[in-house]
Amino acid sequence: MFNFTPFFENYILLLLHIFCIIVKIFIFFKLFNLAKNSKNKALWFVLSLVIFSGFFSDIAWIFFYLQKIFFNSLANMSIIFSRLAWAVYVVQYQSLTMFIESLENKKPTLKLHNKIFICFGLFIIFYFLYNIFNKIPINTPHEELIINITNFHIFIIFIPTIFAFIQMLNAKRSPRILNEQMRILMLFIVIPHIFVELICRDPFNFLHTIIPHAENYLAATSSILLTYALYFCAKKIIGMRFLNMTEHVEGEVHFNFVNDFKDVLTQLGHVTSLNELKGIISNFYKVAFSIPTKKTRLCIKLLDTPEDTSISTMVEPYLNEDFMIKNPLLVRDELEFSYFYEEKDEQKRALSFLNLMQADIFIPIYEKKNITAFIIVDRGARPHALFSKVEYDEMLVFTSHLGALINLLRNRNLESLIQQEKELKEELYYKHQELNHYKETIRDFLQKNQLIPESKKLSAHILKDPSNWDYMLFLETTHSGKLINKLIPGTGMQILDFKINLLKAALSKKAVLLNLPEEDILPTVELLHHISLRDYLEVIDLNASEKNHEIALKLFGINPLFSAQEATGLLEKSDLNGTIFIKNIHLLSLSTQELLAHFLHTGIFTQLKSDRKRSSTARIICSSNQNLNHLCQIGTFSAQLYHELIKTSATLPSLLTLAPTELSDLTAGFIHHITSEKKSVHEIDLSPKEREKLLNDRPISLQEYKDRVYSMLINKAKKKQINQEEVIDTAYSASSPDMYNVARLGKNALKDQQIMTYLWNKFKNQTKIAKLLNVNRSSVNRRCKEFNLIDEQTP
């Protein structure tokens, strides 16, 4: 049977067989330590017989190579172990087939074909033992025949095992964990053994004609491959509660739980209602555990939805069961496998409960030992993979965070807390602005060496609300107040009250509702935006009723999955440093009004077709010339939005009904600012007759009234042939603080490309730019061409 090989080859093959037997011993003792917890000692004994029998083949080859390399005297021992290996070879495979077939029956069973194979195997075993004890010469014709019969016998005994395995899988009566164990045994033990042994036996003598001593190399290769298969199989199958040795299925961590869980916590932090949790949980289970979103359900007790009520009713009778109290979660695969071996009544009742719920996993969520909600993973959620203990732990960690949030949402109105936090931040910001204005007022008093400005001494008695006295001081002494005074210079009772409301709105972060004439709206909005120190102003000019949620899409954005274009809304773009002005807000659709009202109430919004919550500090300014209270009563305007907007509002009194004294005061204020710090002002001052003309022909807007006064002063200067720049501040015609600063630059603004680009984007008109800067239109045209703002052909 054996032939000589060169020394080096024999030495390498010896080491390979020694390595294989060491690995097999390691696997044996690894299983032996786990077998202490096994609840099936009989099957463990059969498995031990399989592993222990595998040692003899390697031992026989080790003695063979020791004899060839070192000790010729070991020839007899080599022959003995070789025949003993053939005898044990039959025991090994007979035990393996019986072990696999008995897994489903929980204990070793001898079927008819097992008895026949055992009887035939005993004949082979006794034959080799007889040859050992009687020292029959090796490689006799009879022995070669028996070896060939043994090889054929090994292949035959696997046929019923393979058929039994296929029948078990088709019947689907065994626990899924057991089916997975059987699959691994067949793929990594039975089939590799059959394949390797078929090659090693070389029935057609093909390899022996190519490679001298081929049986030696094939034996070593076979031993290495089968040892690796045994190691891999043991590693996989032990993690699957093999022979019920462990309490749970083990597994590797594939989901980066620590890092990715932070994203989930961020989403949970934005949740304001219980219903919003369901989508977050489904998405988390999909990412973490590869469970389809529709296969995960969150059911909350006392939540008045048909699904939650129905499932809560089904769960209620089982809440006091021992299996519900003792287990933090119920897993079908684990329970089926445990019941298969242990057959406890508690496990049976738990399985009945999971069958009723059509669930693979049931996770209760507790509050003070009372179940308040539960997560259900539907049956067949992950048909091709088992859940591991690592995944159970991750589910429980997530559930603990979820439980705390559900309890908070149930016992306290989280949306109310968020709204209160938003109001506190706004109030803190408002008080901080007030304090800064107090400081600025004190500095102004000290610089002018007076306690109270003279103009305010005269107007203090006309305040509607004496508590606003400090804001009257702010108007006179602070930068913000002076800007408002420059826009609206009157000091009468109604005008003063409007300016105070405007200053309060400027100092606040709250949404502002303006009710002004058309021409006065944008200058007032730009003033508020400027005082708020915001960088970006977005204008939504509504001229007709909203259709197809176009403004909602523009404000809130949309889930990127549903849009090929820009999905980010203005609220997100304007966060931290932006202002959004919505003109004619009454033209918004009711659905958009409700979404906007929710944002103003909480500071949180949701993109269209999305469940993810986002926050924004964008400043909202709205205008309307309608009676919004009346629109609320007839149901065409959101009462919630009206409630949010009316908190900070400013309505300009009509110039048509303003008292003559107030209008005269307003005229004097405009004249003062238009001619401020100029000489010979008395030469162009309006006469009583001209002032009377203004009173009798009143415009609707402040801007038009200011333009009339400005035009009258310009015309008067022309008639008297007075240089306008000596008596008139031409920059005062600018409609906003930014425009005023640009106008003050005059012709010098033409040299600055950034300023010219800003003016062109705003006006798109060379004549208006020339009028603002008090220069010729040709100069503006030349600079626009130089800065590539217009084509060369543009006149």
The predicted structure's pLDDT at residue 83: 86
Q: 685: which residues sit within 8 A by CB, 6+ positions away?
A: 671
Burial group, residue 137, by CB count within 10 angstroms (0-12, 13-18, 19+): exposed
pLDDT at residue number 675: 80
The answer, yes or no, to whether residue 255 has pLDDT greater than 60, is no
Residue in the block written with tokens 């046929």: 159
Global pTM value: 0.51
Could you identify the residue written with the tokens 């400043």? Answer: 619
Summarised one tens digit per residue, pLDDT across range 273-298 is 677 788 888 888 888 888 998 899 98
| HEC profile of 161-211 | HHHHHHHHHHHCCCCHHHHHHHHHHHHHHHHHHHHHHHHHHCCCCHHHHHC
The pLDDT, as a whole number, for residue 401 is 76
Distance CA 121, CA 141 (A): 20
Q: Is the pLDDT of residue 243 over 60?
A: no
Neighbours of 667 (CB within 10 A): 22
Mean pLDDT (whole number) for 601-615: 85
Predicted local confidence at residue 542, as pLDDT:
93
Pairing status of strand 512-515 against strand 536-541: unpaired
Place of tokens 């603080």: 737
In the predicted model, what is the mean pLDDT of residues 355-383?
Answer: 87
Model confidence at 742, pLDDT cuts 50, 70, 90, reads confident
Encoded amino acid at 150, one letter:
T
8 A C-beta contact, residue 546 and residue 656 = no
Report, as an integer, the average pLDDT of 130-146. Answer: 84
Q: Residue 223: what pLDDT?
A: 67
Q: What is the mean pLDDT of residues 120-139?
A: 86
Higher pLDDT, 456 or 744: 744
The CA distance from 388 to 393, in Å, is 9
Instruction: Name the token pair of 771.
Output: 């009028």
Q: Return the structure tokens found at 596.
A: 């906007």
- Picking from 486, 499, 487, 484, the residue whose alpha carbon sits closest to that of residue 703 is 487
Task: Say which amino acid occupies 148.
Answer: N
Provide the token pair at 103.
Answer: 């897994």
**Could you tell me if 403 and 363 are in contact, meaning their C-beta atoms sit under 8 angstroms apart?**
no
Alpha carbon distance 341, 327 (integer Å) = 19
**Sign of CA pseudo-dihedral 251, 255, 257, 258:** positive
If you average pLDDT over each of 41-50, 327-336, 678-687, which comes out highest? 327-336
The per-residue pLDDT for 785 is 84
Which residue matches tokens 């918004």?
A: 588
**Does the pLDDT value for residue 125 go beyond 50?**
yes
Q: What letter does residue 244 receive in the DSSP assignment?
A: G
Q: What is the overall mean pLDDT for the chain?
A: 79
Average pLDDT over residues 666-693: 77
The DSSP element (H or E) to which 124 belongs, if any, is helix 112-133
> Is pLDDT of 779 > 60?
yes
Pick 227 or 499 by higher pLDDT.
499
At residue 597, the pLDDT reads 94
Helix (H) or strand (E) holding 756: helix 753-763
Does the pLDDT of residue 591 top 50, yes or no? yes
Confidence of residue 132 (pLDDT cuts 50, 70, 90): confident
Of 521-530, 561-570, 610-619, least confident by mean pLDDT is 561-570
Following DSSP, what letter does each residue of 528-584 receive, concatenated? HHHHTT-SEEEEEE-SS---TTHHHHHHHBB-GGG-SS--B-HHHHTTTTEEEEEES
Q: Name the helix (H) or strand (E) containing 605.
A: strand 604-606
- 20 touches 224 (CB < 8 A): yes
pLDDT of residue 543: 92
Checking if the pLDDT of 253 tops 70, the result is: no
CB 498 within 8 A of CB 702: no
**Of 49, 41, 38, 50, which Cα lies nearest the Cα of 190?**
50
Measured in degrees and rounded to the nearest 5, phi and psi for residue 38 equal -70, 140
d(CA 596, CA 585): 11
Higher pLDDT, 408 or 527: 527
Q: What are phi and psi of 653, to 5 degrees?
A: -65, 145
Lowest mean pLDDT among 227-231, 243-247, 434-438, 647-651: 243-247
